[in-house]
Amino acid sequence: MSLAKPLRSSSTGALKGTLRVPGDKSISHRSLMLGAVAVGETVIHGLLEGEDVLHTAAAMRLLGAEAERDADGVWRVRGVGLGGLREPAQVLDMGNSGTAARLLMGLVAAHPITSVFTGDASLNKRPMARVTTPLEQMGARFVGRGGGRLPLAVVGSDQTIPVTYRLPVASAQVKSAIILCGLNTAGITTVIEAEPTRDHTELMLRHFGATVTTERMADGALAVSVTGQPELTAREIFVPSDPSSAAFPAVAALLRPGSELVLRDVGMNPRRTGLYDTLLEMGGSIAFENRRDQAGEPVADLRVKHGPLKGVVVPADRAPSMIDEYPVLAAAAACAEGTTVMLGLKELRVKESDRLSMVAEGLTRCGVKVEVGADDSLTVHGTGRPPQGGATVATAMDHRIAMSFLVLGMATSEPVQVDDGAFIDTSFPGFVGLMNGLGASIAEV
């Protein structure tokens, strides 16, 4: 990522139109990784071609798989078979992507190869001990910087042992890293999660022919088990639109008077839809049309219309199903009437940026009254009138902070500027053009 790209968003008229936001980032990473260890050619329709996912594609090539894009945008991955990844001759650069780094560390941990992982300045600050601790228990070794940060080397093994591991944090990335290591480990590997997190790894593994079971335990936790060393068969994958990306135009439409948008083919996996439940509770007009299943994942078309929103309390147990959506929810809350309290946001501190601080700082600059609680809660006081805006907001290499404040700028009295929109390309290439095509006014400064 090179030069900073400041962007300014101003309020305009209504947003109108029908659109399809890019493919789901979580599913895209997983389709490349599983395609790379399956036997045969996996064909992927609708892969997100954001920088995060392109880093995964490059890493899978360095590990021996073929991953190419056809002229028509379809991706073809020729897998090496489980256990067949080769030692990469270059450092694996995962860019800005925690998902790419953590999941791939799990996959290579159960291969007898040594790989070196690095990332950009944001990723190299993020905690990795949450994955290296269980993967070490399974038999992999890690050599890295103090505090378990990237760059680090993974010394994998083909003699890994299965574990039963209770997640200390609600994290699909950690769950998936362990499952992906368990995939090439003889025996049954089990991850216990107290709160259900996104299950794309489990769903896609079944799609490729692996045995993955989920069992509810006496204390209500879920035990997810994978039977090691299956034959994975190449598959056709249809990646739904990313509900986390759809969140930006959806909230923009709720905020801009007169707006009506139809968002097509949006992933509706119930472990991802917490934002939409919350917006409905706030009084948002969102209709879910044409609900259907697409290659194992539920999808729908969303019809979103402008209307007044009211403040709500968002319970902590909803966090895993909307973990990436709090910044844009905070933008909606700033324009709602009344107070919104979001509980249980500790994990927001270790995302692409410390999102809890970045959101609170940015909203304060825009004239919104907010409080961050000692319990990692965020309280946003909406007045039902447009916030002032008229500020430049720091984004700290975080795509979702950038997009959330550009959405806020569509509803504030004065424009909102973000200091760097370059990182939007990690998850939502074409965001500015798409939003402007619907009636937004976002310009380079």
If binding is defined by CB under 6 A, does position 347 make contact with ligand S3P?
A: yes
Position 260 contacts ligand S3P (CB under 6 A): no
Closest separation in Å from C-beta 22 to ligand S3P? 14
Cβ of residue 191: shortest distance to ligand S3P, in angstroms?
12
- Tell me if 171 contacts ligand S3P by CB under 6 A: yes
75-104 mask for ligand S3P (x: CB under 6 A)? ------------------------x-----
Number of residues that bind ligand S3P (CB under 6 A): 11
Q: How far is the CB of 326 from ligand S3P (least distance, A)?
A: 10
| Beta carbon of residue 116, minimum distance to ligand S3P (angstroms, whole number) | 22
Beta-sheet strands, E only, within 63-174: 66-69, 75-78, 92-93, 114-118, 141-145, 149-155, 164-166
**Any contact of residue 173 with ligand S3P (CB under 6 A)?**
yes
Q: What is the rounded (10 degree) CA torsion for 3, 123, 60, 89?
A: 90
Mapped onto helix, strand or coil, the DSSP state of residue 124 is helix
Interface with ligand S3P, residue 157, by CB under 6 A: no
- The 183-222 site mask, x for binding ligand S3P (CB under 6 A), equals --------------xx------------------------
Residues 126, 109: Cα–Cα separation, whole Å: 19
Residue pair 380/310 in contact (Cβ under 8 Å)? The answer is: no
CA distance 73 to 49: 9
Phi-psi category of residue 295: left, alpha or beta, with phi > 0 → left and psi -120 to 50 → alpha: left
Active site residue 24: no
CA dihedral 22, 27, 33, 39 (to 10 degrees): -100
Q: Does 52 bind ligand S3P (CB under 6 A)?
A: no
Query: What residues form DSSP beta bridges with 165?
Result: 191
Q: Report in angstroms the alpha-carbon separations of 267 from 46, 128, 134, 254, 263.
A: 12, 28, 30, 19, 11
Stretch that binds ligand S3P, among 14-22, 71-79, 172-180, 231-239 (CB under 6 A): 172-180
The CB-side HSE value for 160 (13 A sphere, CA atoms) comes to: 36
For CA atoms 262, 265, 267, 269, the dihedral sign is: positive
366, 335 in Cβ contact below 8 A? no
Task: Report the C-alpha gap between 381 and 270 in whole angstroms.
Answer: 28
Work out how close the CB of 30 gets to ligand S3P at its nearest, in angstroms, rounded to a whole number: 7
* Shortest spacing between CB 285 and ligand S3P, in angstroms: 27
Minimum CB distance to ligand S3P smaller for 260 or for 277: 277
Of positions 101, 172, 252, 334, contacts ligand S3P by CB under 6 A? 172
Task: Specify the stretch interacting with ligand S3P by CB under 6 A; choose among 36-44, 146-154, 171-179, 373-381.
Answer: 171-179
Give the integer Cα–Cα distance in Å for 318 and 189: 27
Which is catalytic among the residues 324, 398, 420, 425?
324
Q: Which is nearer to ligand S3P, 255 or 326 (CB)?
A: 326
CA–CA distances in Å: residue 348 to residues 277, 292, 406, 445: 19, 31, 19, 29
Residue nearest to ligand S3P (CB): 26
Question: Closest distance between ligand S3P and the C-beta of residue 402, in Å?
Answer: 15
Q: Examine residue 176 and tell whether it contacts ligand S3P (CB under 6 A).
A: yes
| x/- letters, 309..338, toward ligand S3P (CB under 6 A) | --------------xx--------------
- Active-site residues, by number, are 324
Q: Which residues bind ligand S3P (CB under 6 A)?
A: 26, 99, 171-173, 176, 197-198, 323-324, 347
